[in-house]
């Protein structure tokens, strides 16, 4: 922000200058002195404050000019005004120069001043109100005591007659567009024919003078009442407004065009400059600049601990019974069920893999934004056609050259509840993504998606090892459930060790011949009992390997989420290894559940039946229901499990946002 300017006085003449309220003009007294001058005095009108600065010492000059100061090298006057002028040149400062004889002045220099107030204003203190000339508006800092304005990406679609997002064009039809951020230019003072305002917009990202600016916003100027015209953006980097004087206020609306990513850190600055032209034909020069800084609001994921709003599921030809059970679960949780029918899903049942729900938030507005995965299956058009609309945004990241794998599906993208790790708080939780083993070249989520997730800053991602799985998703071995205690959640993990321990206990109790998969006629396996499972050495060895992979992730999660063993609940699971050496669930994987507050939709495991009950279901109930959770076991074995997915894979939940303000985070 340009606050001070230098004015070169000339003896024998009176200059004219504009003094912007809140700034100082430095006038060179020594350089303007006539030959033979050894001292000077200063006389000024009441509307001007004058300081005489000599050798870093400052004294206030009285208005009547009674005192004389020695004329030393480097002596300057600092001029300021705190009230706007009512007419041009209504204040003045006169410098009288004296020779060594001490008689009357040998010459004079002076300046006529016009006081003008100008400020570029935003909601810098983040209370939803655009305050006047906040002294902290030109910087952006994190934390509860931070400052700086917040800019939303206008990624929803308010006009049903346009094909893309609101931010894809340069048209705005309503002042009430929820994604717009208000910016005001305020001015006061006497009109002067030689001055104008110039707004300049810059995004703090990489660009050259030979290319269009990648500035991630543009401004809108009210025109004829409720109509708006585009005045700044990618193809126009400045806009000139004539300064007419008096008390004036112009409203502009700022629109975010892109989220933070690896090439754009999210900071945007806007400058306003007061330009002065000395004479016709000479370019105008800036005499004052004011600056405000925005940060583009990040995309934020919502963990299982937040309340559900809508549950989404696909209707396909073979999942009628599954849909019926999900509907029953949703009714218990008092949220809404949204069914995506075949004409939209085109046979794609994997709702979790296609999208991830999140939101963006500013002091004046919060709305959901769906992140579309690059998998682009049959559900490719679903988020655009069924979700995008007024106050419901959309964002995606598509790789240009990388190969999209199963790890790019969003069953491989989860987020923990809020945690504190070694004293550092993560009040919005931490993103979890599956990847390859650190020392091997395997499947990874594409770089463009990972870069996007890391760039949001407020949910610092943790990369886990999931490439050991056939599908390779983190939701195959970990999830979280809400609890009303101090910790507020428990982490659930798939555990082959827990399954073998349970089966051995049941064997010792005399239930070794208890049969699995009863009631499921579609299984292509022979009669499977506890004894057969425990005696299958190949399966034992495979599941020992699986447990080592899970334990690797367990250790990472304990370290990165600040957890202890008492925060973790092990759910029995068994896996088998495919021909490629990857693991898939042997029976429906119970950790791959849908969490709707205290109501859990758990894949029905079809475990060994003992005294009429599935011992796996009974064991899970004994772990979770004493904590206040309600377990509903959903049969997904034919419609999802056989295709290497479960309940969580086939559903998706739009949840309430955090009440916590993301700008209070300290990354």
Mind listing the pLDDT tens digit for each residue in 403-422? 999 999 999 999 999 999 99
Residue-averaged pLDDT of the chain: 88
Confidence of residue 193 (pLDDT cuts 50, 70, 90): very low
Select, from the ranges 100-114, 116-130, 168-182, 559-573, the one with the highest average predicted confidence (pLDDT).
559-573
Note the pLDDT tens digit of each residue in 315-353: 999 999 999 999 999 999 999 999 999 999 999 999 999
CA distance 49 to 66: 15
Check if 168 is active-site: no
3-state secondary structure of 237: coil
User: Which tokens in the block code for residue 306?
Assistant: 């937040």
> Catalytic residue among 314, 499, 649, 654, which?
649
Q: 353, 408, 467, 570: which one is catalytic? A: 353
What pLDDT score does 521 carry?
54
Q: How would residue 218 be classed by pLDDT, with cut points 50, 70 and 90?
A: very low
pTM of the full structure:
0.89
How confident is the model at residue 312, as a pLDDT? 98
Q: Is the pLDDT of residue 377 over 50?
A: yes
21 or 539, higher pLDDT: 539
Indicate if 649 belongs to the active site: yes
CB 444 within 8 A of CB 437: no
CB 296 within 8 A of CB 254: no
473 noted as active-site residue: yes
CB-based burial label for 520 (10 Å; 0-12, 13-18, 19+) = middle
Give 8: exposed, middle or buried? Use CB within 10 Å, 0-12, 13-18, 19+: exposed
Per-residue confidence (pLDDT) for residue 119, from 0 to 100: 86
pLDDT for the residue 227:
61
- The CA distances from residue 63 to 67, 79, 538, in Å, are 10, 12, 99
Tens digit of each residue's pLDDT (9 = 90 or more) over 229-261:
777 777 777 777 776 666 777 778 888 889 999
For residue 243, the model assigns a pLDDT of: 66
Helix (H) or strand (E) holding 559: helix 537-561
Environment class of 462 (CB within 10 Å of its CB; exposed 0-12, middle 13-18, buried 19+): buried
Q: Catalytic one among 107, 156, 467, 475?
A: 475
**Both structure tokens of 649:** 């894979």
Active-site residue, from 361, 473, 511, 648:
473
CA–CA gap between residue 475 and residue 433 (Å, rounded): 9
Judge whether 382 and 404 are in contact, CB under 8 Å. no
Q: Is the sign of the CA dihedral 362, 364, 368, 369 positive or negative? A: negative
Q: Is 475 a catalytic residue?
A: yes
Q: Report which DSSP code applies to 165.
A: -
| Residue 397: band (very low, low, confident or very high) from pLDDT cuts 50, 70, 90 | very high
Residue 202: band (very low, low, confident or very high) from pLDDT cuts 50, 70, 90: very low
Spatial distance between the Cα atoms of 432 and 424, rounded to a whole number of angstroms:
18
Looking at residue 599, its pLDDT comes to 98
Structure tokens at 21: 């309220």
Residue ranges of domains in the chain, CATH in brackets: 3-116 (2.60.40.1860), 123-296 (2.60.40.1700), 300-664 (3.75.10.10)
DSSP state string for 278-292: SSTTSPPEEEEEEEE
Rounded Cα–Cα distance for residues 650 and 146 (Å): 41
Distance CA(445)–CA(452), nearest Å, equals: 11
């Amino acid at each position: 922000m340009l606050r001070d300017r230098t004015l070169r006085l000339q003896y024998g003449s009176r200059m004219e200058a504009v003094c912007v309220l809140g700034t100082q003009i430095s006038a060179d007294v020594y350089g303007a002195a006539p030959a033979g001058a050894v001292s000077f005095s200063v006389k000024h009108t009441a509307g001007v404050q004058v300081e005489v600065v000599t050798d870093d010492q400052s004294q206030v000059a009285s208005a009547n000019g009674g005192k004389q100061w020695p004329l030393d090298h480097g002596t300057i006057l600092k001029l300021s005004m705190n009230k706007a002028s009512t007419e041009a040149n209504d204040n003045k400062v006169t410098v009288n120069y004296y020779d060594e004889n001490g008689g009357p002045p040998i010459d004079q220099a002076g300046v006529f001043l016009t006081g003008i107030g100008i400020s570029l204003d935003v909601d810098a203190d983040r209370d939803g109100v655009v305050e006047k000339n906040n002294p902290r508006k030109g910087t952006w800092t994190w934390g509860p005591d931070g400052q700086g304005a917040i800019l939303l990406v206008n990624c929803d679609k308010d006009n049903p007659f346009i094909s893309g997002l609101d931010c894809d064009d340069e048209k705005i039809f309503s002042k009430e567009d929820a994604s717009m951020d208000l910016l005001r230019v305020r001015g006061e003072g006497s009109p002067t024919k030689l001055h104008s305002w110039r707004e300049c917009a810059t995004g703090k990202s990489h660009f050259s003078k030979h290319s269009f600016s990648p500035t991630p916003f543009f401004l809108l100027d009210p025109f004829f009442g409720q109509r708006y015209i585009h005045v700044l953006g990618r193809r126009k980097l400045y806009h000139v407004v004539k300064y007419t004087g008096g008390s004036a206020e112009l409203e502009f609306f700022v629109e975010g065009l892109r989220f933070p990513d690896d090439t754009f850190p999210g900071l945007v600055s806007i400058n306003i400059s007061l330009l002065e032209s000395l004479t016709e034909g000479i370019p105008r020069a800036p005499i004052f600049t004011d600056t405000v800084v925005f940060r583009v609001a990040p995309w934020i994921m919502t963990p299982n601990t937040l309340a559900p709003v809508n549950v989404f599921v696909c209707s396909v030809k073979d999942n009628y019974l599954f849909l019926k059970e999900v509907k029953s679960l949703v009714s218990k949780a008092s949220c809404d069920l949204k069914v995506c029918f075949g004409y939209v899903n085109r046979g794609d049942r994997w709702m979790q893999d296609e999208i991830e729900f999140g939101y963006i938030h500013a002091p004046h507005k919060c709305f959901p934004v769906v992140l579309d995965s690059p998998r682009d299956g049959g559900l490719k058009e679903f988020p655009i056609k069924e979700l995008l609309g007024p106050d419901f945004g959309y964002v995606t990241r598509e790789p240009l050259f990388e190969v999209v794998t199963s790890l790019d599906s969003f069953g491989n993208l989860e987020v923990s509840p809020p945690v504190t790790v070694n004293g550092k708080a993560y009040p919005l939780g931490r993103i979890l993504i599956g990847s390859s083993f650190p020392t091997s070249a395997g499947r990874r989520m594409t770089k463009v998606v990972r870069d996007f997730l890391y760039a949001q800053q407020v949910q610092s991602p943790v990369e886990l090892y999931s490439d050991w799985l056939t599908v390779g998703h983190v939701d195959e071995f970990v999830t979280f459930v809400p609890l009303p205690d101090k910790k507020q959640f428990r982490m659930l993990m798939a555990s082959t060790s827990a399954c073998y321990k349970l089966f051995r206990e049941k064997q010792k109790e005399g239930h070794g011949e208890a049969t699995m998969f009863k009631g499921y006629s579609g299984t292509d396996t022979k009669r499977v009992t506890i004894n057969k499972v425990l005696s299958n050495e190949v399966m034992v060895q495979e599941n020992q390997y699986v447990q080592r992979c899970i334990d690797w992730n367990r250790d990472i999660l304990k370290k990165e989420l600040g957890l202890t063993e008492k925060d973790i609940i092990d759910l029995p699971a068994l896996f088998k290894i495919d021909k490629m050496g990857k693991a898939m669930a042997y029976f429906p994987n119970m950790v791959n559940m849908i969490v709707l507050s205290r109501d859990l939709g758990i894949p029905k495991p079809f475990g060994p039946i003992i005294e009429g009950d599935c011992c796996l279901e009974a064991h899970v109930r004994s772990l979770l229901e004493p904590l206040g959770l309600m377990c509903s076991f959903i049969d997904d074995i034919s419609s999802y499990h056989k295709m290497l997915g479960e309940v969580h894979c086939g559903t998706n939940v739009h949840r309430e946002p955090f009440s916590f303000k993301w700008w209070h985070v300290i990354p």
